[in-house]
């Protein structure tokens, strides 16, 4: 992915001033501290006028995907400029309004593997946050063994006819399009898989939400019955879907871990949560020594992970993009994410036991549901057991019998 050369030091301040001026003119103060609804898979997107204006302003600059090529609607910024942008947005309490699976997974993959026509058709809409994508990967009998997928795309000349079922389709009920891996050849398990793009409003597509323990229904079953998919929606060549699909998973795992910037979006530090709910002694320390040790221990490990992840991601990008290291980050980051939720509930005490009703604030109820939703962190995007297998074989170079 092409980016501009690193700016000279004397231009850094000029760019920083440009960012500050843009934020002052375009970021509504009323949105300070709020999150990115487009990045969520937990509910429909209903923007108010201020949210819409902020998204459009960022989309017009391409700063929602700051390092993506400018010719496709990205910001064309260097990594250093992107960091400056992030720093200034943090100071202003501004969030990135462009997100979701199009940014996290599909966009980077299409920039690497898509045709020029596909990039020009799909990347600009992702860069402006105008479209919502979902992922068609897992099937009832193809989860951990993903290559066992059976959804079949039959070649009908000028189009494919797709039949089959996907499950755990995140945000499928709200998505405009689906990037999916399907079988185009039943004789070869891995080389018979292809990567294609399916319009979710096509005749024959049926989406059924699945209700989770958290009370939310962010995942769906998706059924395809004689769905026509134009030949130009094939990404790469027939039989390359397994390779392209695995590459996309590396982008997904890096982002799920928190290493892709998501870690900063997980909310307040545990020390800040403690200030609201825990008792403090005369020295300004958490009075409960056991809880104090837990908070300190977690914050040290979490910050160490974020710094290590940042280094690993930068090294991978310098070497050509994401790599199998994404499995290491996913394994560690998701485990820490679950620990974070458990610790937050413990700090909140009785206020961390609410499900609904009076006596609990909106953020307290959201915290409980986030804790339950987080149980899936170590499963989706490839379970921890799958990541262990990839780490053993691809990172450590171990053989099957070792």
Residues assigned a catalytic role: 252
SS3 state of residue 20? helix
Please tell me what DSSP assigns to residue 284.
S
Q: How many residues does the chain have?
A: 402
Please give the Cα distance from 232 to 81 (Å, whole number).
Answer: 36
How remote is the C-alpha of 72 from its chain's centroid?
Answer: 20
For the record, the structure tokens of 340 come out as 């974070």
Look at residues 293, 182, 178, 194 and name the one whose alpha carbon lies nearest to residue 243: 194
- Decide: 151 and 166 in contact? Cβ < 8 Å: yes
How remote is the C-alpha of 174 from its chain's centroid?
Answer: 16
Please give the Cα distance from 267 to 265 (Å, whole number).
Answer: 5
Q: Which residues on neighbouring strands pair with residue 55, listed in sequence order?
A: none
Phi then psi for 61, rounded to 5 degrees? -80, -20
Please give the Cα distance from 82 to 231 (Å, whole number).
Answer: 37
For the record, the structure tokens of 366 come out as 């959201």
CA dihedral (119, 3, 175, 152) in degrees, to 10, reads: 50
For the record, the structure tokens of 55 come out as 């998204």
Please give the Cα distance from 187 to 184 (Å, whole number).
Answer: 9
For the record, the structure tokens of 396 come out as 């450590």
Sign of CA dihedral 48, 54, 57, 63: negative
Q: Which residues on neighbouring strands pair with residue 182, listed in sequence order?
A: 194
Phi then psi for 203, rounded to 5 degrees? -55, 135
Helix then strand then coil, in percent of the chain rounded to 5, is 50, 15, 35
SS3 state of residue 234? strand
Q: Which residues on neighbouring strands pair with residue 198, listed in sequence order?
A: 178
């Amino acid at each position: 992915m092409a980016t501009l050369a690193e700016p000279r030091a004397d231009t850094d301040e000029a760019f920083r001033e440009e960012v500050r001026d843009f934020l002052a003119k375009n970021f509504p103060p009323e949105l300070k501290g709020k999150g990115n609804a487009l990045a969520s898979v937990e509910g429909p997107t209903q923007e108010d006028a201020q949210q819409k204006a902020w998204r459009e302003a960022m989309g017009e600059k391409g700063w929602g995907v700051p390092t993506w090529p400018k010719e496709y609607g990205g910001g064309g910024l260097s990594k250093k400029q992107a960091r400056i942008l992030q720093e200034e947005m943090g100071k202003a309490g501004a969030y990135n309004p462009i997100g979701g699976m199009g940014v996290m997974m599909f966009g980077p993959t299409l920039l690497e593997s898509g045709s020029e026509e596909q990039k020009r058709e799909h990347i600009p809409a992702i860069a402006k946050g105008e479209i919502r994508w979902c992922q068609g990967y897992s099937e009832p009998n193809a989860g951990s063994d993903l290559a066992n997928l059976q959804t079949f795309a039959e070649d009908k000349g000028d189009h494919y006819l797709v039949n089959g079922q996907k499950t755990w389709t995140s945000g499928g009920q709200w998505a405009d399009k689906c990037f999916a891996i399907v079988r185009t050849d039943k004789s070869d398990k891995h080389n018979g898989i292809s990567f294609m793009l399916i319009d979710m409003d096509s005749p024959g597509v049926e989406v059924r939400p699945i209700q989770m323990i958290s009370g939310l229904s962010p995942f769906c079953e998706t059924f395809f019955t004689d769905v026509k998919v134009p030949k130009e929606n094939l990404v790469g060549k027939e039989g390359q879907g397994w390779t392209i699909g695995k590459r996309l998973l590396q982008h997904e795992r890096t982002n799920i871990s928190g290493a892709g910037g998501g870690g900063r979006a997980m909310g307040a530090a545990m020390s800040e949560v403690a200030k609201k709910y825990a008792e403090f002694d005369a020295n300004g320390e958490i009075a409960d020594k056991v809880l104090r040790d837990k908070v300190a221990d977690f914050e040290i490990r979490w910050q160490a992970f974020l710094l290590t992840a940042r280094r690993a991601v930068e090294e991978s990008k310098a070497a050509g993009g994401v790599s199998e290291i994404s499995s290491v980050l996913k394994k560690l980051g998701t485990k820490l994410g679950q620990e974070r939720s458990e610790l937050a509930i413990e700090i909140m005490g009785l206020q961390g036991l609410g499900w609904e009703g009076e006596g609990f604030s909106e953020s307290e109820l959201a915290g409980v549901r986030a804790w339950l939703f987080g149980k899936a962190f170590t499963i989706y995007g490839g379970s921890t057991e799958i990541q262990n297998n990839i780490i053993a074989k691809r990172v450590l170079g171990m053989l099957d019998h070792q």
